[in-house]
Amino acid sequence: MRIVVALGGNALLRRGEAADAETQRRNVSVAVAALTEIAESHELVITHGNGPQVGLLALQGDTYVQVPPYPLDVLGAESEGMIGYLLDQELVNALGARPVATLLTQVIVAADDPAFEKPTKFIGPVYTKERAQQLAFSRHYAVAADGDHWRRVVPSPEPRAIVELPTIQLLVEAGVLVVCGGGGGIPVVVDRDGRLHGVEGVIDKDLAAALLAEGLGADALLMLTDVSAVQLGYGTAGARALHDVDAAELRGYPFAAGSMGPKVEAACRFAEETGGLAAIGSLADAVAILRGERGTRVRAAVRA
Ligand SMILES: Nc1ncnc2c1ncn2[C@@H]1O[C@H](COP(=O)(O)OP(=O)(O)O)[C@@H](O)[C@H]1O
Ligand SMILES: [Mg+2]
């Protein structure tokens, strides 16, 4: 099978966890161990989130006041390099002879995407409400509640097309395990002369992963995160996990924007567009999810 795995930025750097390099390295090694068995018997493309990491890079940049802050497209590229390097090295260590390539990936968005006016994507560490409000004032960050915590939010435009898709396709067909589309890809717009320009935003990696999986003709899209399944009534006493569910049914339920919402949307899009399997679950359960034993598995309803 051809499988696209989207690793949660929050599974690679958990909420509240220190964002140092060693912690990321350790988490990456856990992620790669969870994927080794799949990599050994399938074509595998790995994409990953960058919410905590891109926010970290922005905060680090903010401390060097001699130059203006770097724009989010450049920070997104840096985060692809940082996480991609750690993943690549660990994959090479785990898989021996299997060729691995990590690609900087640009994703085209619309310059007039309404998301630029309404930031929803959580990045960086979690804060108390008071601290978040201070940062909103002193650094001109937009901030919003993420569960019990507060975080910075940035525009998250819709991914339209993947610039490097033909290259990724060539590599996959040549048997290369590809790491690409990190952080949802670097958001770029195309001008009237067909030239690419980076824009300020962070694309949702799950929506980009669905586009990638569709473009590659993948059989399955696995979104691996820090919860074991999609839940109805999440955070309430009556929460209930969903296991096998039709895309049409799943679309009927409400989910949180900026976290589970885009995963569910990505799963429904991939299942409906391709007829393939889309699944959401815990990183540790990757193999069991593929076997149908764990996670939330989304398929398009079979039409009579
Ligand atoms: N209905 C829900 N079911 C399960 N998890 C949910 C739900 N709504 C929100 N969440 C949150 O979504 C998070 C996973 O999404 P996100 O934070 O974007 O992680 P990732 O980095 O993997 O994309 C979980 O940690 C959980 O707190
Ligand atoms: Mg997310």
Which atom of ligand 1 lies at the shortest distance from residue 229's CA? 4
Q: What is the mean pLDDT of each run of 10 residues along the chain (304 residues)?
A: 91 82 94 94 96 89 89 96 97 94 98 94 89 91 90 94 98 98 97 96 96 98 96 95 96 90 97 97 95 96 64
Instruction: Confirm or reject: Cβ of 300 under 6 Å from ligand 1.
Output: no
Q: What pLDDT does 97 receive?
A: 86
- The rounded Å distance from CA 294 to ligand 1 centre is 16
Starting from the CA of residue 223, give the closest ligand: 1
Per-residue model confidence as pLDDT tens digits over 159-171: 999 999 999 999 9
Q: What pLDDT does 302 receive?
A: 64
- The rounded Å distance from CA 68 to ligand 1 centre is 33
Instruction: Confirm or reject: Cβ of 119 under 6 Å from ligand 1.
Output: no
Q: What pLDDT does 178 receive?
A: 98
- Secondary structure in 3-state letters for the chain: CEEEEEECHHHHCCCCCCCCHHHHHHHHHHHHHHHHHHHHHCEEEEEECCHHHHHHHHHHHHCCCCCCCCCHHHHHHHHHHHHHHHHHHHHHHHHCCCCEEECCCEEECCCCCHHHHCCCEEEEEEECHHHHHHHHHHCCCEEEEECCEEEEEECCCCCCEECCHHHHHHHHHCCCEEECCHHHCEEEEECCCCCEEECCCCCCHHHHHHHHHHHCCCCEEEEEECCCCCEECCCCCCCEECCEEEHHHHHCCCCCCCCHHHHHHHHHHHHHHHCCEEEEEEHHHHHHHHCCCCCEEEECCCCC
Q: Which domains does the chain have, with CATH numbers?
A: 2-116+157-218 (3.40.1160.10)
Starting from the CA of residue 229, give the closest ligand: 1
